């Protein structure tokens, strides 16, 4: 029987997430019967924050 094991790590501290992921990766690779260990990390993304003007600027027509 083939089973898939997935672990997702969330948190506010990105470095802490990566450190924990490395520990889990090492645990998986050292566990008998666990094969084909891989991991995925998203590339850093740009975070856009947009504001909305509350009043219309009458000088810009």
What is the Cα–Cα distance from 28 to 35, expressed in whole angstroms? 8
pTM value surpassing 0.85: no
- Angle among Cα 9, 11, 12 to the nearest 5 degrees reads 150
* Tens place of pLDDT per residue across the chain (61 aa): 567 889 999 999 989 999 999 999 999 999 998 888 988 888 888 989 988 888 776 666 6
């Amino acid at each position: 029987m083939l089973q898939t094991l997935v672990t997702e790590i969330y948190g506010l501290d990105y470095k802490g997430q990566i450190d924990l992921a490395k520990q889990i990766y090492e645990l998986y690779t050292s566990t008998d019967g666990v094969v084909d260990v891989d991991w995925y990390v998203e590339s850093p993304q740009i975070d856009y924050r947009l504001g909305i003007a509350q009043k219309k600027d009458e000088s810009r027509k």
